[in-house]
Chain A
Amino acid sequence: MNPFSEEMNELFEKMASGEGSRAERTLFFQELESNPTLKNLYESHLTFRKGVEVVTRRTALRSEISGYQQQLKSTKTKSTNPISISRWAIAASVSALITVGAWFGYEWEQRQKANGEQLLARSTPKSRHSNRPIRTIESGEDVVSGTAFAVNAEGYFLTSSHVIGNKSEVELENPEDGSIYAARVVARDTKYDLVLVKIDDESFTGLSRIPYPIKSSKVNLAQDVFTLGFPKEDIVFGEGSVSSLNGYNGDTLKYQVSVPVNPGQSGSPLFDEQGNVIGVISAKNGSADGVSYAVKSSHMIHFFENALEDPIQLPKANGVSGLSKTKKIQKIKSFIFIVRA
């Protein structure tokens, strides 16, 4: 038998991370006491594991820090210490690990100035519904608007975190009937540029079944995609294809798509041909036309898994895949709202 099989590795991992039932753990540690070979194996596994933890952490942090340094001033780094040179070089080569380019929060404004990646929130002096009280927004401030789409019929919507900034309350408008709802931020992750908001309003009675599942499987280069969003007060359809599997500067959190987008479309869902959600529009390239960036759906799923205290049910079944394009969009668009913060 393999002295270090996958089963044994899993068992060791389970014990090392404190998992398993009490009975299981008692049994394991008793066995360890009576079996010196096993004990040796386990202890050397723990040492190895600790090392892997330290080395992966430091390599990832180096890569992250290289990113901050690059943003600070793009200059070459020379070193007088050979060990330090090699480790920082490794960090630079694995920057995809902790995508340096994904760290756009801090440099948003600079990037916009540099015409690299432009975020797509839209500033309007105030809501067009000036005759209505805007519940969540203080008057006098500029209103930023974006697009939000339903991910749970009880009133959960996903949009880009940069649209909302650090606000905790926003408003959502259903453009089909003009109704406006107050909503609060439930979870936010600036790394993924995602935020989940929930309608918190007595007048909201829920949605019908959401017809688009969030797809986690692989997206292919050149695959056809489309999006629906609000660069103006009316919904706008845009289509194109996946033009690169990574975003701006090798940002592995995003795809590059050849869909024309404009301010106000941040947070728009990106669909594949069947009408599955495969991303969230987040930014466009300021110096090239038709180059837009969407956060990958795998990261959306990761966001839902990690950012929420209580998990929510995500749409599972595709209710539009058999329909024609126009019918699909007719059906999907009822679930896409305008978000203002």
Chain B
Amino acid sequence: MSLNDLDGLRSGDRFITGKIYAEHYSLIERMIVAQKGDSDDAKDIYQEAFLIFLDNIQNPSFELTVKISTYLYAIAKNLWYKRLKVIGQQSFVIDDRFADELPDVTENVDRFLEEEQKYDDLYSGLNQLGEPCKSVLTDFFFQKLSMEAIANKHGYTNADNAKTQKYKCLMRLKKLVAVGQKRRNG
């Protein structure tokens, strides 16, 4: 792992992230196929593990203390064991070459999965929101684009108009989330 790789991952560089994604896939696939899974399971788990990895690494307070491959392996293994448990299968270890150096990622993974549950209404709200709201909110909250850049990208005449649009989108999302909560609570 080079320093450049980590910087690239943190800044969301597609070239570097894609390269790293491709580099570690077969390692995870081998582990899962060796433990009652098939290559579809491997893809599934690897995507989820990679998401948790990116989600963590873009958090400035997160420090990666092991190699990227080791970390991905630990996350994927945790996810896969959880999956096996759900379908009533026992996990067993074959050729667990990282066994000694695997970091404990339980807390990491559990927090991620809890948040996924907690934000269920937001996920479906965002999905119902449609375009351009979904992109506007993503550009603002995730990409951290300026209102100026958002105005340019989405063809609003100026930053103030983009701001108003963002406000309307947020309000619609709030409403959708409230409706979802109400539906679930009775």
B21, B127, B164: the one within 8 Å of A68 (CB): B21
* Per-residue interface assignment for chain B, residues 42 to 75, with 1 indicating a CB less than 8 Å from any chain A CB and 0 otherwise: 0110111011001100100000000000000000
CB distance from B177 to the nearest CB of A (A): 8
> In the bound complex, do residue B119 and residue A57 qualify as a contact, i.e. CB atoms below 8 Å apart?
no
Contact of A53 with B142 at beta-carbon distance under 8 Å, contacts A59-B123, A65-B50, A77-B40 already known: yes
Interface residues as binary, B92-113 with A (CB distance below 8 Å gives 1, 0 otherwise): 0000000000000000000000
CB distance from B145 to the nearest CB of A (A): 7
Give the B interface residue count (CB, 8 A). Answer: 56
B122/A64 in contact, CB under 8 A: no
Residue contact B167 to A103, C-beta cutoff 8 Å: no
Chain A window 24-52, contacts with chain B (Cβ cutoff 8 Å), 1 for yes, 0 for no:
00000000000000000000000011011
Closest-by-CB residue of A relative to B39 is A75
Q: Are A302 and B153 in contact (CB under 8 A)?
A: yes
Q: Report whether A106 and B149 are in contact in the complex, using a CB–CB cutoff of 8 Å.
A: no
CB of A9 within 8 Å of the partner chain: yes
CB pair A302 B145 closer than 8 Å: yes
Q: A78 on the interface (CB 8 Å rule)? A: yes
What's the Cα separation between A302 and B148 when bound, in Å? Answer: 9
Task: Check B135 for interface membership: any CB of A closer than 8 A.
Answer: yes
Not counting A106-B19, A305-B148, A306-B149, a sample of 8 additional A-B residue pairs whose C-beta atoms are within 8 angstroms of each other reads A6-B167, A52-B122, A55-B119, A59-B138, A68-B17, A76-B40, A77-B43, A218-B155
Q: Is A94 a contact of B48 with CB atoms below 8 Å?
A: no
- The complex places the Cα of A98 from the Cα of B86 at a distance, in Å, of 32
Report the Cα distance A66→B19, complex, angstroms: 14
CA gap between A216 and B157 in the complex, in Å: 10
Q: Is the CB of A97 within 8 A of B17?
A: no
For the complex, what is the distance from the CA of A324 to the CA of B123, rounded to whole Å?
54
Q: Is B152 touching A216 in the complex (CB atoms < 8 A)?
A: yes
**Contacts of A40-98 to chain B: CB distance below 8 A:** 48-49, 51-62, 64-69, 71-72, 75-81, 83-84, 87-88, 90, 93-94, 96-98
CB pairs A–B below 8 angstroms (23 shown): A4-B171, A52-B126, A56-B141, A57-B55, A60-B138, A60-B142, A61-B51, A62-B47, A62-B51, A68-B50, A72-B25, A78-B44, A80-B87, A93-B127, A106-B15, A191-B13, A191-B14, A218-B155, A298-B155, A299-B153, A301-B152, A305-B148, A305-B149
